[in-house]
A and B are shown apart, each in its own frame.
Chain A
Amino acid sequence: GAGVSQSPSNKVTEKGKDVELRCDPISGHTALYWYRQRLGQGLEFLIYFQGNSAPDKSGLPSDRFSAERTGESVSTLTIQRTQQEDSAVYLCASSPPRRGLEETQYFGPGTRLLVL
């Protein structure tokens, strides 16, 4: 079946502009995660959605970052007033419900964001 998809693949923006990144999880996956990977760095957690529960926003680096999810489908990560340090690859992952199944997280191809 289809994997996690993300759009756009690449985004170049000017400092101070807002950007929206989109993630389509695997159908039936109730959990959705956003991570960030700066150049040459490891992955850092941003935000986690699980079903209808309140999202875990503990990884968002500032109030310029926000994310929404519609039910158990698409999620949008918004970065307002972008700064050069926001340049990174933004990765989305999804995993199946936690009901005795392997909770493997499957990653999308990422959106490469460059803030000039």
Chain B
Amino acid sequence: GIQVEQSPPDLILQEGANSTLRCNFSDSVNNLQWFHQNPWGQLINLFYIPSGTKQNGRLSATTVATERYSLLYISSSQTSDSGVYYCAVVRYNQGGKLIFGQGTELSVKP
């Protein structure tokens, strides 16, 4: 089946810094989502982005489907950005399930 790899696995930032998280996937995908899992375990939708670029406040994401990667940009990071960021993909011929990467654990220090 399709493999989803995220990098880096861990990231420590000073408040106010910018960062880029990467998601590589091994085959073409129909859907791609980015999530933030906060310290209480809640999975929060960030972007639905099978291709193209989207922005939402300090966050933006770009998926280059032909090259099988997606990037999540966090600008002017805040302590509330801490948590685990997951990339997940769907291939219709493997059903509708999300296949998750192992996540990037982000810690933003004040």
Contact = CB atoms under 8 A, between A and B. Distances in A.
Contacts of B90: 103
Interface stretch (A13-21, A69-77, A105-113): A105-113
Contact of A56 (B35, B41, B48, B95): B95
Majority secondary structure, A binding face = strand
Given A43-B86, A89-B41, A104-B33, A33 B48 contact: no
A109 B96 contact: no
Q: How large is the interface on A (under 10, 10 to 19, 20 to 34, 35 or more residues)?
A: 20 to 34
A56 to B, nearest CB: 5
Contact of A48 (B31, B45, B97): B97
A93 to B, nearest CB: 8
Given A104-B33, A109-B41, A42 B100 contact: yes
B1 to A, nearest CB: 10
Nearest to A46: B97
Majority secondary structure, B binding face = strand
A50 interface: yes
A93 B45 CA distance: 11
Give the 7 A-B residue pairs with the shortest CB-CB distance, closest first. A107-B43, A45-B97, A104-B48, A56-B95, A43-B100, A102-B48, A42-B102
23 contacts: A33-B96, A33-B97, A37-B41, A42-B100, A42-B102, A42-B103, A43-B86, A43-B88, A43-B100, A44-B100, A45-B97, A45-B99, A48-B95, A48-B97, A56-B96, A58-B95, A95-B96, A98-B96, A102-B48, A104-B33, A107-B35, A107-B43, A109-B41
